[in-house]
Amino acid sequence: LGPVLATPATRKLARELGVDLRGVFGSGPSSRITSDDVRNHAALARGAGGGAAPVALARDASDVAVPFRGLRRRIAENMSRSKRAAAHFLYVEEVDCTDLVALREKVNAALARTPHPAGVRKVTFLPFIVKATAYALRKFPQLNAALDEAAGEIVQRGHVHMGLATATEAGLIVPVVRDADQKSVAEISKEIDRLAEATRTNKASREELSGSTFTITSLGQLGGVLAAPIINHPEVAIMGVHKIAKRPAVRDGAIVIRDLMNLSISVDHRVVDGYDAARFIAAVKEGLEAPAGLWQEQV
């Protein structure tokens, strides 16, 4: 993933604490490792007991030991840091995706006849969700932000770089679609496919796996009904996308079958008020329930 980025002072601290920087998750710009990252890594290595050695785990001869290092340890450090630092608040909303399902079918039928100039022949739901979310982030910049505690500032990001939490055999990683608000759904789809291939073949660069300003986490058809995702530090919000399924709904006083999906969002309540989180999700919901404006190509 490229060279380790750290200042001389941070490297000195790592030597003093006996921390191998190659195993540390960098939370600074361009994944630069900060002194706090080194201290958090050292604290996790010592265990959660304020410096006390971890209690040995009783084992059976049939148990299998999997090394807790590399990417898995970096994931653990980032999740632990996020839960320690952020005041997580969860909000959930239901979205009627019936029109989105119909639009995607229409788009894919058109692409099967005439591929998009970008080379896209088929799109999933995710690019539409990314586009609707990017639009909403422009309306609510406090969710496209980070908290700089050292400076005492909330930094609203100038770009919308969408992180897509992705499960791999090695663990959870977050490839980034840069400037998602400036890309069409077709362009987002192409970039997601490109990043997925780079991730699958372990060819993704450090830049492609860092620098997100907001993260979406989705398990596709395994997405379940509800989850409370952990914020991707140092961001202030993460949105969970759950599976689209046919369920009964009440429309105009009648029970009908619709394609419904839940969105769950975890926000750092120190930075984002619950009311603003609800308004943000309402904006995403509005875009997905009236999706014609998301796909700006001829179909």
What is the set of active-site residues? 269, 273
Torsion of CA 44, 50, 51, 52, to 10 degrees: -110
The burial class, CB within 10 Å (0-12 / 13-18 / 19+), for 54 is exposed
Residue 138: CB atoms within 10 Å: 11
Helix (H) or strand (E) holding 251: strand 245-251
DSSP string, 264-281: EEEEETTTS-HHHHHHHH
Quick one: DSSP state of residue 34?
P
Pair of tokens at residue 241: 């996308």
DSSP string, 187-239: HHHHHHHHHHHHHHTT---TGGGS--SEEEEE-GGG--S---PPP-TTBSEEE
Are 171 and 75 in contact by the 8 Å Cβ rule? The answer is yes
Q: HSE (CB half, 13 Å, CA atoms) of 61?
A: 0
